Amino acid sequence: MDEYGYTVEVPEGYDEAVLRARLAMKGEGFSIISEMHVGGMLGPEAGDTRQYLIMGMWNSALSQRQIDPQLKAAVHLPCNVVVQEVDAGAIVAALDPLDVVAGADDQSVAAASIARDALERMLRTVAAGPV
């Protein structure tokens, strides 16, 4: 984990990183509910052909729990996972859900903790190697 959340490297490249991330998310019960490819829109300093994908995801197991509708963590879930091309490899990154609920009620913290554990496992799977 770094200052902004979790980051793992995939030296095999962007396409492999996207494939691993999608499979690992599914393995942890996450569904991808939105995707936005913003490569080429990051400005000239980022490069016109650089691959950059943002995936919004939701963990249906978390949503099936008895959760208060006022849950503050729900504002920050689905979680975002970013896959970005760097040199010959890629980086897969996710924000730590506990960071966004710091100081919130116990139920929000508990839900974010469950999401955090699932994200950590998902990213370990991505980093483990080719599928």
**Structural domains present in the chain:** 5-128 (3.30.310.70)
Tens of pLDDT along the chain (131 residues)? 556 678 999 999 999 999 999 999 999 888 888 898 887 666 666 566 678 899 988 776 665 555 555 555 455 454 689 999 998 899 999 988 887 777 777 777 787 788 888 889 999 999 998 76
CA distance 99 to 80: 13
Q: What is the pTM of this model?
A: 0.80
pLDDT at res. 43: 62
Structure tokens at 111: 């839900």
State the pLDDT at residue 67.
53
Q: What is the pLDDT of residue 7?
A: 92
pLDDT at 76: 47
CB 39 within 8 A of CB 51: yes
For residue 128, the model assigns a pLDDT of 93
Structure tokens at 8: 């793992």
What is the pLDDT, as a whole number, of residue 63? 55
Among 65, 55, 66, 67, which residue's Cα sits nearest to residue 26? 55
| d(C-alpha 49, C-alpha 87), whole Å | 12
